[in-house]
Structure 1
Amino acid sequence: MSKIHPWAYVNGRIVKSDEQAISLYDRGFLYGEGLFETIRVKRGKCLRLPLHLNRLNQGSKVLNITIPSLDKLETAIQSVIDANNLCEARLRVTITPGEHSTAGINTSSSGSPTLVVTAYQLPDLEPSPLRVITSSLFRRDERSPLSSVKSLNYLPSILALREARSAGADDAIMLNTKGNIAEGTTGNLFLRFGRILVTPSRDQGLVPGTVRATLIEIAPQMGMDLEERQVTKDDILRAEELFFTNAIQLMRPIKEVDGINVPMVKSPLFDHIRQVLEELE
């Protein structure tokens, strides 16, 4: 488990990370109603912060909840960086609608949104290539507007990861209701065919990641074609190389899917893409 840094931000205050500071009646605690972002801090600065804040804003519209202003979010984030004297870290921003105003499920809260920012030690940034399975139990619903929201209700990903670990694998690829590829449990999936990168399109039931957006933007500059489209399990078997992307580890190579070896792992082109992404930081 990643080490938790000692100071956190909770609703306008810097508090000890182990201090109980959230109401027992908070809608995020009671119902999983809320949003979160995981942000990489490098050399004391947040990477891809505008993309993260934009995703929070878009998610708030889907959930129809009020979130703090961008200025307040940036101030809260910076206060945690300063309080912990962070250089390299992982930040989590959590927002809920606040306290429940009455007993039972309803659509109202009784106060201001809850805003929490916590900081963690970074995990291994260059993990070993992954052995993954295709989750057979849990699927992303591409028909639901919630599929694109990074919400506090993370059960499908948690349970799919648990399924993978029980099977002796490191992670899982999640399908959508049509049986096509959606994403990994904590990141987006890319397939490489020569100099063509393929990733499931946004209508396939995935949470669109910040590194995914960056890679889509810069692929042509690297002389690569980028396709966002429906991806099938047969595409997985035909791909020369596979990798996940996420905000903390950038690119996570995959060496095996459902017991079948991936032809190439951490190829020179993979290393080049990672280098270009790192140079943008």
Structure 2
Amino acid sequence: MTFNPNAEIRSGNVSRAGGGGLLPGGPGRGRGPGGKLALGGGGGCLLLVIVLVYALAGGNPLELLGGGDGTVQEGPVAGGALEECRTGADANIRDDCLVQATIESADAYWAQAAPAEGIRFEEPQGVLFPQQVQTGCGAASSAVGPFYCPADRTIYIDADFFGELSAQYGADGGQLSKMYVVAHEYGHHIQNIDGTMRRIDPRQTGPRSDGVRLELQADCYAGLWTRHATSTVDDEGRAMLQPLTQEDLVSALSAAGAVGDDHIQGEVAGGEVRPETWTHGSSQQRQTWFLRGYEEGTYAACDTFSPADV
């Protein structure tokens, strides 16, 4: 799924954190040893994997990294708007512009869908950061990957993560695999403003835990946006996205499967798969709930907390 080249994607709520820049498209800069947190010992790689996926679920990565006590800090120090991201054509060749365009499309969808469900809608902020960023949840490094901070209602993404998602975790690198990541984080914003985050115990682990159900619901919301994304329009009434293809859907599912707990514990980290420790769900669970949102197309279909099994 690609953006309409003529669609307007300029945004008033997406910015770049102070300093640095992002390369257009592709796998990005990559990060050598100097670009990762010093996690120490032979388990450093596995811990990094856990932190990346924990962040994808909207958790405060500092809780795992020991970089903060969860105290709310001031929000991001913005470096200004992404002036180079003007049209859908830009989003089709630049990953930073793709992030902005996806947030703009999600804004257009949820601005209609959320109030229809009795949710008082407020757009999240989006921040692109290449190295480090100060957030409402504390300071964070790009090593933690994409995350949503409920304290300042902001989605934080280093677009270089898309290359890592493909090269290290096995996603196919297609455009919708990248949009899935952004739409997933946007799903956590919906869970924040509709009160779901305040009603659960995220400390639970295991395939049926609250933490996993929260994660799977965000996947379902990503599928829900995907179902309706091609009907979102810009301020001039132009369609933002071109029609979805079967290849696009396969691409999104490849990303959902790449961040499954079982895949990461076993195939990526080379360790034992331990379901009792899961905080995000298996690859199959994540793909199933993404598809449920896509196929059923309703907010109600994404209730992951009522079923006995997910």
Larger Rg: 1
* TM-score of the aligned structures, taking structure 2 as reference length: 0.26
* TM-score of the aligned structures, taking structure 1 as reference length: 0.28
Higher share of residues assigned strand: 1
Higher relative contact order, chain-length normalized (CA < 8 Å, sep 6+): 2
Higher share of residues assigned helix: 2
